Chains A and B, each alone.
Chain A
Amino acid sequence: MFDTGGVTASPSPSFLNAGPDPGTNPGTDPGSVIRRLSELIRPVTFAREQTLPVLEPLAPLLADGALTRGSLLRVCGIGATSLALSLMAAGSRDGSWSAVIGLPELGLVAAAEHGLVLDRLALIDAPPTRRSAELIAAVLDGVDLVLLDARMMLSGAESRRIAARLRERGSVLIMVEPVCSMAPVIALSQTSRTRTSTARTSMSQAAGGWSPDVVLTVAGSQWQGLGEGHGTLRRRRVRIDAVGRGRAARPRQLEVLLPADQGSVDVID
């Protein structure tokens, strides 16, 4: 350790960990001055602390336990629509507006069952391709939660511009590609390792030049309650894999009921 008692202006690293020296006046001690200054200029909230809430059971899936404002999410797999709706539910309940761009198949009753507040939901038909970017930017200006039909085509430059706008406005954009064709789907029964790599691939090759912050893949969906001519669909057990960039880089995995008996999302007992 250096003796810093006599030094007044040297940016020595020991300033940062020097305790109050009993020999000097604490008001003029350079270490305490710097600490006081750093307290003053410390940002009040970090960007990552500005979040929109998610329902409790989904919190372990996201890096901050909530949706980071300004982030872009991509949701895919069977059950993607349900997951996207559940992700928006808590924010909508807390007073945020949500908007859906495109996605003419979206079931509005299901949206209400998943917890979206219909009084604060706007539905916007998919615009002609040349006006898509302008439209998305306009929606992001006023709406916190935006659900975007991933089938809308945008150029790489446009999607980058929208991503920048998204970070600036602090909304959350969720892209979803619904699976509603008759084409058979390959059974998703892969090992954990290949699953993660699939998610990574789908992240890098995300359509239209988008680079999502988090990719959520729903897999292993198992409906419960339906029998051979009896019962009804009651709940579905799904596994969700999350892969992302930056703070969300660590792969996460979560098994939940989506929907649970009450129509929303719940933990597995």
Chain B
Amino acid sequence: MSSTEGRSADRVVRSLVVRCADWPLVAAGATPDQPAVVIEGGRVVVVSPAARAEGIEPGHRRREAQRRCPSVVVYPPDHDRDARLFHAIGAALEHITPRIELSVPGVAAFPTRGPSRYFGGDHALAKQVMTAVAGIMVGLGWPDSVGVGVADGRFVAEQVARVGGVTVLEPGTSASFLAPLPAGMLGRPELCDVLRRLGISTLGAFAALPAADVVARFGADGLVAHRVAGGLDERPPHTAPPPPHLTVSIELDPPVERVDQAAFVAKGLAERLHDGLDAEGLACTRVCITAETDTGACNERIWRHEGALGVGAIIERVRWQLDGWLNGPAVLRPTSGVSRLTLIPDEVGPARGRQLGFWGGETAADERAMRAMARVQGIVGVAAVTVPEVRGGRSPIEQIVRVPAATVELAMSRGGQPENDQSRFVAPWPGRVPTPTPALVLPEPLPALVCDQRGSVVAVSGRGALSAAPATLGEQNIVDGAVGAVGAAAALPIAAWAGPWLTDERWWDPVAHVRRARLQLLLADGRAVLVCCEHGRWSIEGWYD
């Protein structure tokens, strides 16, 4: 072990991480040479190598992904399936070491101390693991997506595994490996955003900040990120085992053979575990789930989570684990039902509670509103509830569009900018009519007639000159395509006007090309209106109400 010297808080556990890149796609049955993505919550979360080559990146919307690669195959997320199929990898690793730790399907880790000694060094161990896992991955058709990394600390090992192939970092070199990596690796977008604006772009620069200052500015979560950036584990490793009385266990009689039954039992069990932890002010960050059958077969996995494992998270992990075991391939399947289920809090820490977001995040009001929206969707249908999203454009109807509330994360900011920063509507759109914007924007522009003193329709030349000063605004009836003005009674006199604001949009596209001229008109009755001329036809776009 490298770092036996130094304070105990700075000691790290040398770990091996096996990472199967794009696992959800592997589990979904995609092939590496096929452009495929998994979309969750309206955003791309997993991208296949072929799709990445087409320019699709995580975070894109479905439409953006399909624009970059029209033939992309979109898979829905299915965590249960991912976990079930990953059981095969876990079973292969079990031949090498009994202590496998899982966080998300696709990534498995274990401390190397024992197995490394047994197999004759980190390199030999890593090669052994690679052979075992690659054998399975070749069978699934994804031979190149396995990465095995050995390093001081789990986070570093996972970053090393991302490289692909077998990589072993010598003891003591973790910090120097991490230093040049971008701070975005920490997977905390809000923190990284602040760091970027502070001029800190690499993990090394962040790790160089004094820990006390990081805590003062970013709190407990910032401290975790700071430790990780410095090559340490998220939390100081626990020297003392958790108190054994916290372990909860239940006998199942008759034995349970279905996963949903087991998950139901696990709910009560997880609640008992939490009550025990709560009473001592602890939270569980790593849990060991053990299932035994009557015939003595036993399945044990360690699940970890960056935060604390709540009741729901534990139930989900029990389901994942048993799904893989009970419904897996016949060689691994137990011969009888599960008769005993045990939850061992493997690593506990002081419960810090769930803090409301420092940078906004979800508040009680958000939660209440989201519940109400869910009910409203039940009454009027999912499509009838929309939220605004800033898009950009020249006309008032383009700048902010309505997107179905069901497709976005309601608690998250959709402007991508500080709240109410009006510059976001203004910046890159020449030809836009200046603020204020009409408070009423007609969903369908209303055909109208803008006439001059003599009653003929005002025309706009290609250079933006008006044929005459507009004098009246009238209604227009379209009868069989012919345009006929209604009598002068319906025409409203214009007191003042300005414009035109000309836009010539998408001139490169013969179909979508539009040339428009917009005028602001102030009517004699005190109302103001925004009118638009396209192909010589006037219509009302909005009222300045």
Hey, which bits of chain A sit against chain B, CB under 8 A?
78-82, 85, 93, 95-97, 99, 104-115, 117-125, 127, 131, 134-135, 138-139, 141-144, 178-180, 182, 184-188, 220-223, 226-233, 236, 259, 263
Contacts and interface: CB of A to CB of B under 8 A. Distances in A.
B448 interface: yes
B327 to A, nearest CB: 40
Contact of B422 (A113, A125, A144): A113
B330 interface: no
B440 A180 contact: yes
Q: Which 7 A-B pairs have the closest CB atoms?
A: A142-B372, A97-B369, A108-B400, A125-B384, A81-B439, A110-B439, A107-B441
Nearest to B425: A109
A107 B497 contact: no
Contacts of A96: 365
Kindly state the interface size class of chain B when it binds its partner: 35 or more
Interface stretch (B10-18, B293-301, B520-528): B520-528
A125 B384 CA distance: 5
A99 B419 CA distance: 17
Given A109-B396, A232-B498, A233-B522, A125 B380 contact: yes
B68 interface: no
B396 A185 contact: no
Interface in B351-368: 363, 365-366, 368
7 contacts: A93-B420, A105-B543, A115-B420, A141-B371, A141-B375, A187-B526, A233-B528
Contacts of A121: 387-388
Contact of B415 (A85, A119, A182): A119
B210 interface: no
A104 B545 CA distance: 14
Given A109-B399, A226-B496, A138 B545 contact: no
B545 A263 contact: no
Interface string B482-519: 00000000101000111000000000000000000000
B87 to A, nearest CB: 40
A131 B384 CA distance: 13
A118 B442 contact: no
B446 interface: yes
A196 to B, nearest CB: 20
Contacts of B545: 78-82, 178-180
A263 B390 contact: no
Instruction: Give chain B's interface secondary structure class.
Output: mixed
A38 to B, nearest CB: 33
Nearest to A96: B365
A110 B420 contact: no
A233 B523 CA distance: 12
B254 interface: no
Given A104-B443, A109-B396, A121-B388, A259 B422 contact: no
B380 A124 contact: yes
Nearest to B544: A233
Most A-side CB within 10 Å, residue of B388, B520, B542: B388
A106 B525 contact: no
Contacts of B475: 182
B373 A228 contact: no
Nearest to B380: A127
B415 A118 contact: yes
Interface in B374-429: 375-376, 379-380, 384-390, 396, 399-400, 402, 405, 412-415, 419-420, 422, 425
B45 interface: no
Contacts of B365: 95-97, 120, 144
Contact of A142 (B368, B434, B438, B439): B368
Interface of B: 363, 365-366, 368-373, 375-376, 379-380, 384-390, 396, 399-400, 402, 405, 412-415, 419-420, 422, 425, 433-443, 446, 448, 466, 469, 473-475, 490, 492, 496-498, 520, 522, 525-528, 540, 542-545
A60 B437 CA distance: 26
Given A93-B420, A96-B365, A119-B415, A263 B386 contact: no
B436 to A, nearest CB: 5
A169 to B, nearest CB: 10
B528 A223 contact: yes
A131 B365 CA distance: 25
Most A-side CB within 10 Å, residue of B387, B443, B446, B490: B387
A108 B376 contact: no
Given A178-B440, A228-B496, A138 B544 contact: no
A127 B525 contact: no
A99 B387 CA distance: 9
A141 B434 CA distance: 38
A117 B365 CA distance: 14
Contact of B522 (A107, A127, A187, A223): A223
A67 B132 CA distance: 68
A180 B497 contact: no
A226 B498 contact: yes
B417 to A, nearest CB: 10
A188 B526 CA distance: 9
Contacts of B376: 122, 124, 135, 138-139
B420 A138 contact: no
Given A82-B545, A106-B440, 19 more contacts: A99-B369, A105-B441, A105-B543, A107-B438, A108-B402, A109-B425, A109-B441, A110-B438, A112-B400, A112-B422, A124-B380, A127-B380, A135-B380, A141-B372, A143-B372, A179-B545, A186-B525, A232-B434, A263-B422
Contacts of A113: 422, 435-437
Contacts of A230: 498
B498 A142 contact: no
A110 B436 CA distance: 7
A122 B385 contact: yes
A131 B379 contact: yes
Given A80-B545, A142-B369, A134 B437 contact: no
A95 B363 contact: yes
A82 B527 CA distance: 13
